[in-house]
Structure 1
Amino acid sequence: MSQNKLVPSFDFIAAGKQVLAIEMKGIAQLNKYINSNFRRACEMLFLCTGKVVVMGMGKSGHIGRKLAATFASTGTPAFFVHPGEASHGDLGMVSSKDIVIALSNSGESHEILALIPVLKRQRIPLICITGKPDSTMSKAAEIYLCVHVPEEACPLGLVPTASTTAALVMSDALAVALLRARGFTAEDFALSHPGGILGRKLLLRVSDIMHSGDDIPLTASTASLREAIFEITRKNMGMTVICDTQNIISGIFTDGDLRRVFDMDINFNKVRIADVMTPGGVRIEPDTLAMEALNLMQVRNITSLMVAQGDHLIGVVHMHDMLRAGVI
């Protein structure tokens, strides 16, 4: 019977380290199970023209869900089906082009065993990941991957601990081996994670977040410095681009330039902006990744970039745009 009273002498640190030692021992043993069966499983999965269907009960089911999610996000279309629900209609999700991966430490999961005759009848390949080489599931599988561990980290030998860690590591080995074989790239990963930080960094282009049209702080090269300052104030971007009537860039004038001219003995109403602007200016093309634009801003220690094709102004992107888009 469990107790709620803490024994003062109980050593939580020692208990935690003992768990790590047992689980690391189990993982180390997996090395010998990365063998010809592992290669055959990877080849079968690589050549699959359908989807990978992952099944598992209890804690093995949790590992199976993670495996399916990892596969799906790294170029191997996959989904998880609960074995119990599969017996009541969800097996209809599985087609003859698919491959089933079933996880069970004992290899005797009744819910999965009940499905095997149907899978065999439909000639759906079965890969089993279990800790028991002589189990019913292991013998029924086209390919068997062993994840046997010497012991569980639980002192009772009952709670799935080292065994589920071994199954997780074997699952990751499958997923990453396939990822490498497919030549899967960071951009491929981003396509399946458009809402994540990596997705935004690898997919978002400057053209997606830049200011264009009337939102561009724009001043004619014939305008006065005073007019340029008004434009900076109106557009609230700390700068204005100096262009001719065809939007050909002459230069840029920023808040920093304004502080510089304050030290000059000039008439703000009479001096032309063309006389005090910074000629040229830093620019970037619209199809450049937003992350590259951010890196350029950081290297040049500036807060905005002109977006242009050659000398023709298309837009302006500001550091605040990066913040709003979640690139930073």
Structure 2
Amino acid sequence: MTHLSTEHPYDFQKTGKVVLQIVREGLQQLDQYINEDFVRACEIIFHCRGKVIIMGMGKSGHIGKKIASTFASTGTPAFFIHPAEANHGDLGMVCSDDIVIAISNSGESLEILTLIPILKRRHVILICMTSRPNSRMADAAEVHICTKVPQEACSLGLVPTSSSTATLVMGDALAVALLRAKGFTQKDFSLSHPGGALGRKLLIRVDNIMRVGHAIPYLHPDASLHQALLTMTSKKMGVIVICNTNKLIQGIFTDGDLRRLLDVGANINMHRIRISSIMTPVGVRIKPDTLVIEAMNVMQSKNITCIIIAEKNKLIGLVHIYDILRTNAF
């Protein structure tokens, strides 16, 4: 591995911290641009009947792809079109109901400027994000969002650094503002993120993992405490659901209830005590279509390790916290 000469060491840490400071100062300047133009852009996108098309050349294009991805995953249908490809046929992807967000630091990107007359002719609304309010792109846009920063972090003042970060953050601001305005939910988010642990956490329902039939530890209210202990031991869930012959839930008996019973009772006849006389009435229950993440939240808030799955008070299944952990969603 090659190292710089120790005779003339370079302070990389100092330069890195200077870059971060310049970028932070640039982002602080963005506050002034969250204004009426920002609101107007949000309103236009909110009411869009088509899709949001993002365009940008070079570094602006890379930022545009990320903004399009963020929009698409948070309830605003969007995709990226490369301006050069749009000039050679891909503009056919854009329809009159769509909105175009064109990104350029200078606001003078020739590849985008050549597209603007066609977009106007098709009555496509144009939103531009640039650092120059007096640029040709800004003048042509229905709405211009300024992303100007005091300086680039590059010592030459040439490489897009602070300006790229500012544009990215402004795109995130648009996406999150729209997400909240649309009432976009966790369930909505899961529908566009089905893969990996995130998708499993958000999409799996308890009826996909619950224990059913003979795997459920349940007894009739007339069963004895002795029978309850045998069932609890064999099923290894630390809980028994008490229900009648129609599986209508009467209550629940847990290993915690057993410990509390033993603490207060000196002479207990396990064969004579009916489980219905010592059970906890009702029990915490959820519906079969409940998401696993919601079930986990309920279990944590109630400090329980098992939860009953029921439909109109009828026992459907039972989920133990281990069943949830086995999904690898947490």
With structure 1 as the length reference, what TM-score do the two structures score? 0.82
Q: For residues 109-159 of structure 1, what are the alpha-carbon distances to aligned partners after superposition, in whole Å with 9 as ceiling and x for unaligned?
A: 233233223222322122111123343323332322222223210111122
User: Are the counterparts in 1 of residues 97 and 124 from structure 2 also a CA contact under 8 Å?
Assistant: yes
Amino acid at match of 1:249: I
Take 1:165 and 1:21, find their aligned partners in 2: how far apart are those partners? 13
CA distance in 1, matches of 2:28, 2:325: 44
For residue 294 of structure 1, the aligned residue among 286, 296, 305 is 296
TM-score, structure 2 normalization: 0.81
Measure how far apart 1:26 and its partner are: 2.0
Render the CA deviation track for 1:277-320: whole Å, top value 9, x for unaligned.
Answer: 63436231315554454344334443212233565322211111
CA RMSD, aligned part only?
Answer: 3.4
Match of 1:91 in 2: 91
* Deviation sequence 1:46-70 (CA, Å, 0-9, x none): 2221111001122111211121122
Q: Superposed, which structure 2 residues align to 1:148-167 within 5 Å?
A: 148-167=148-167
The amino acid of 2:304's aligned partner reads I
Alignment of 1:128-207 (within 5 A): 128-195=128-195, 205-207=205-207
For 1:6 and 1:143, locate their aligned partners in 2 and report how far apart those are by CA, in whole Å. 53
Tell which deviates more after alignment, 109-118 or 120-129. 109-118
Q: CA deviation at 1:204?
A: 5.1
Change (3 A) 1:291 1:182: closer
Measured against aligned partners, the alpha-carbon deviations of 1:224-276 in whole angstroms (never above 9, x if no partner) come to: 656545544554433332333222334444445667769977787x5566378
Q: Which runs of 5+ in 1 are unaligned?
A: none
Mapping of residues 137-286 of structure 1, within 5 Å: 137-195=137-195, 205-223=205-223, 227-256=227-256, 270=271, 274=275, 278-280=279-281, 282-286=283-287
For the pair 1:5 / 2:4, whether they are aligned, the reply is yes
Q: Distance in 2 between matches of 1:30 and 1:196?
A: 35
| Aligned position for 2:317 | 315
Contact 2:127–2:145 at 8 Å: present in 1 too? yes
Give 3-state SS (helix, strand or coil) of 1:237's partner.
Answer: coil
Give 3-state SS (helix, strand or coil) of 2:326's partner: helix
Alpha-carbon distance in 1 for matches of 2:48, 2:302: 49
- Aligned-pair identity (%): 57
C-alpha change, 1:35 and 1:245, in structure 2 (3 Å) is closer
Structure 2 unpaired stretches of 5+: none
- Mapped to 1, the partners of 2:143 and 2:313 lie a distance apart of 61
Aligned pair count reads 325
| 289-298 or 66-75, larger mean C-alpha shift | 289-298
